[in-house]
Amino acid sequence: MIEADFRFGAAATSEAVREIARSVRGSVICGLARCREADINRAGEALRQAERARLHVFLATSPIHREYKLKMDKDEVISRAVAGVKQARGYCDDVEYSPEDATRTELDFLCQVVEATIAAGATTVNIPDTVAMPRLITWAK
């Protein structure tokens, strides 16, 4: 799998991902997007010509991120994560979800978000510690 980076809103990066998707065969091409409608659309469009595409969407879940970065409560975070996964499924069947800063998230809430995104169609869930260790757990259906 090749996970092509996205500089959110950068047309040059979007075109680079589009070219990778168009020319690379035999590998999954994965686009990364925040759980924001415009970001998911940009990533999804860039992956349209991929032989095998995956869209990886993420949204922070830890209390500090919810309060200071997102300014969202728990219900809003779940709603946004589910909407992001559903939107991504409109572009491809292979959708990965990551709860950003997962290891500082309350375990019960982390389980709620993960369960909700799987029910919404996520085929892979990555539980990252975006502050210290890159990837602790990955679940794939």
How confident is the model over 32-61, as pLDDT tens digits? 999 999 999 999 999 999 999 999 999 999
Share of the chain above pLDDT 90, in %: 76
Residue 54 belongs to what H/E stretch? strand 52-60
Strand 124-127 versus strand 137-140 pairing type: antiparallel
Better-scored residue on pLDDT, 21 or 11: 21
Residue that is written with structure tokens 């389980």 in the block: 111
Q: How confident is the model at residue 9 (pLDDT cuts 50, 70, 90)?
A: low
Nearest 10 degrees: CA dihedral of 56, 42, 22, 94? 30
The pLDDT value given to residue 130 = 72
Better-scored residue on pLDDT, 38 or 8: 38
Closest of 123, 111, 128 to residue 136, by C-alpha:
128
What would the two tokens of residue 89 be?
């499924």
CA–CA gap between residue 7 and residue 121 (Å, rounded): 25
Query: 140 in helix, strand or coil?
Result: strand
Quick: pLDDT tens for 110-126: 999 999 999 999 999 99
Q: How confident is the model at residue 135 (pLDDT cuts 50, 70, 90)?
A: very low
CA–CA gap between residue 90 and residue 108 (Å, rounded): 29
Helices and strands in the chain, H and E counts: 5, 6
What would the two tokens of residue 72 be?
């969202």
Average pLDDT of span 19-26: 92
Q: How much is the pTM?
A: 0.88
The pLDDT value given to residue 26 = 94
pLDDT at 21 over 60: yes
